[in-house]
Chains A and B, each alone.
Chain A
Amino acid sequence: MLDIVRQQVERAKQDFPNLQATEQPDGSVQIIIDGLTIPQHWGRESMSILAILPPGYPQAAPNGFQAKLDGQNWSGVCYRPQTWDSGRENLWKWIKLIERFFQENRP
């Protein structure tokens, strides 16, 4: 894992302590957050999130994420940042965007 990614993971962990990052054999990094707080209109307080940082991240943007929408099974969510500047964006911002997805959308 690049130091720059490791630092982003550490920064994100400060606000999302349940975050786990695991480097995959293909160089991507699997991010799992158990219990991301979501708005009430989702009928639950929190949801587990799985996001993949693709090989080459941050020069390749994150692309979608998975969530346990039914509480049990992973479902793919087609959602991506509208822009991605590798020098400015980071994992923390990506998780914040995922939070925003849950605020702006309904089940």
Chain B
Amino acid sequence: MKFAITFTASDFDKMYSYVIQDGHEEAAFLLCGVAETPSFTNLLTREVIPVPDSAFISKSGAFLNIKPEFMMPLIKNARLDNLSVISVHSHPFSRCNTSFSSIDDYGDTALIPKICGRVPRQPHGHIVVGRNSLDARLWKKDQYSSVPVDEVRVVGRRLRKIYPTSSRACSFSAVSDAHQRQVLAIGEEAQKLIQELTIAVVGLGGIGSQVFQQLVHLGVKHFIVVDPDVVEETNRSRLIGSTASDVKSCVAKTELMKRIAQAFDCRIKIEAIQDSVYTLSTSRRLIEADVIFCCTDNLHSRMVLNRIVYQYLIPLIDVGLEIQAYGGIITSAGGRVMVVLPSGPCLDCVGILDARVVSDEISALTSGGLTTGHYVSGEPIENPAVISLNGVVASLAATELLNLISGLESYRTAETYKVYRVLEGDVRLVEMKAERQCGVCVEVQGKGDGGKLPCRADG
């Protein structure tokens, strides 16, 4: 069982700058949604509530006592919205290996039962923050003893993982010789972080298979791969690693990816899901991922994954390429690689999601038909596709992961996405500007399991 707390970068900075501001201990509370699977509990920060001086009964260098009248409305709000409560305080003089003191332990014996009594259905937590480190623990629902938090995730233009002092997670596995040259370029810390991430790749066609292959070679060790399809002869010109016997044996694309990964490194762990993200159980399996790549060819899946970004605070790298050709000549072609972060505009706000097309795709799915855009009246339209063009956008997408973990493109201005103009032969940065306020991305932010994903139930 793994336990995590996830912040957006702005919430983390808000919390940190408040509790570490001078030589005094300071405090704050976090209200969090919860993401829970049988093997993973993740508290998702929705709101940071600093405790002002006026809310303390007493405040000293080593002891904080907060007025009940400050606490009660906060706990009431948590109960109404079914949110977890995390108390945060600082040890301002602690630098490395910040940990809970015996006074903190004693304080928790009084505070935590009160919170658990009022909001019994959620886990609650406590974070102690030092200047360069922190410690964190959770109380699972119905349990009186705490468990250490394995990792704190901070999601922003840089993706960070912080391992609390008492974390049981082995922080940063060793870098293999296979990646020594890469380490020269991106640094050992970034390489180790790559190895710690769980990456989901949704859609394993011409682009997704190349993205996956690059991620394997970059050193990712944990994958969740999702695609409902099997290898077909018409895929082979662009499906990495596919063979004629895969077509004959109707090998699932997910199994093909497993084979690619294990040929490179047999220690790579892959959860292969031969299904689409429209199924609730499948989309819920993505919530353990640190980053999701969307390499599908439809908007319905983008709508679902876009929701996951905000509801579960997981960055999405969305990749697409469209080629229009007539008589063997490309008339227009363009690729797009967009990083969607919980703090930025969503795919709907920037105008990528066309609600009418999404609706058509849902209708086609529920009526047992095929996805529009690629199939009309049951007949597949053969969209033009070229492996090398797919390769350009796949490489740009994989590089966005490096950007997230190491800030590789340090001169790049904020809030941009990449457009590959095939006929012009260039890649441009385009400002990621909201065309509208969809309202959904703001509403669901950090809600976790408290919100409903727009997927069909299983069965």
A68 to B349, CA, bound (A): 36
Taking the complex as formed, is A35 at the interface, i.e. its CB lies under 8 A from any CB of chain B? no
Is A56 a contact of B303 with CB atoms below 8 Å? yes
Note all chain A residues with C-beta closer than 8 A to B451: 2
Is A27 a contact of B454 with CB atoms below 8 Å? yes
Note all chain A residues with C-beta closer than 8 A to B300: 56, 60
A62 to B300, CA, bound (A): 14
Within 8 A of A (CB), among B364-385: 366
Is B444 a contact of A60 with CB atoms below 8 Å? no
Taking the complex as formed, is B386 at the interface, i.e. its CB lies under 8 A from any CB of chain A? no
Is A60 a contact of B303 with CB atoms below 8 Å? yes
Note all chain A residues with C-beta closer than 8 A to B197: none
Taking the complex as formed, is A88 at the interface, i.e. its CB lies under 8 A from any CB of chain B? yes
Secondary structure at the A interface, as helix, strand, loop or mixed, is loop
Contact segment of B164-172, B290-298, B353-361, B420-428: B353-361
Is B436 a contact of A4 with CB atoms below 8 Å? no
Interface size on A, residues (CB 8 A): 23
B304, B362, B363, B453: most-surrounded residue (chain A CB, <10 A): B362
Within 8 A of B (CB), among A9-68: 25-27, 54-56, 58-63
Minimal Cβ-Cβ distance residue in A for B453:
A27
Distance from B311 Cβ to chain A, minimum over Cβ atoms (Å): 11
Distance from B360 Cβ to chain A, minimum over Cβ atoms (Å): 7
Q: Which residue of the partner chain, among A4, A26, A87, contacts B457 with CB atoms under 8 Å? A: A26
A54, A55, A80, A84: most-surrounded residue (chain B CB, <10 A): A55
Taking the complex as formed, is B438 at the interface, i.e. its CB lies under 8 A from any CB of chain A? yes
Taking the complex as formed, is A85 at the interface, i.e. its CB lies under 8 A from any CB of chain B? yes
Taking the complex as formed, is A83 at the interface, i.e. its CB lies under 8 A from any CB of chain B? yes
Within 8 A of B (CB), among A61-107: 61-63, 80-81, 83-88
Given A86-B436, A87-B436, A87-B439: A61 and B455 interface contact (C-beta under 8 Å): no
Taking the complex as formed, is B13 at the interface, i.e. its CB lies under 8 A from any CB of chain A? no
Is B439 a contact of A4 with CB atoms below 8 Å? yes
A32 to B437, CA, bound (A): 28
Distance from B276 Cβ to chain A, minimum over Cβ atoms (Å): 14
Given A58-B355, A60-B303, A61-B356: A27 and B439 interface contact (C-beta under 8 Å): no
Distance from A65 Cβ to chain B, minimum over Cβ atoms (Å): 13
Q: Which residue of the partner chain, among B306, B356, B443, contacts A80 with CB atoms under 8 Å? A: B356
Taking the complex as formed, is B141 at the interface, i.e. its CB lies under 8 A from any CB of chain A? no
> Can you offer 23 A-B residue contacts whose CB atoms are under 8 A?
A2-B440, A26-B366, A27-B455, A27-B456, A54-B358, A54-B359, A56-B300, A56-B358, A58-B355, A59-B358, A59-B440, A60-B358, A60-B362, A60-B454, A61-B356, A63-B359, A85-B355, A85-B436, A86-B436, A86-B438, A86-B440, A87-B437, A88-B436
Question: With contacts A55-B456, A86-B353, A86-B440 known, what are 14 further pairs, Cβ within 8 A?
Answer: A26-B456, A54-B359, A56-B304, A56-B358, A56-B362, A56-B454, A58-B439, A58-B440, A59-B440, A60-B355, A63-B356, A63-B359, A84-B359, A86-B438
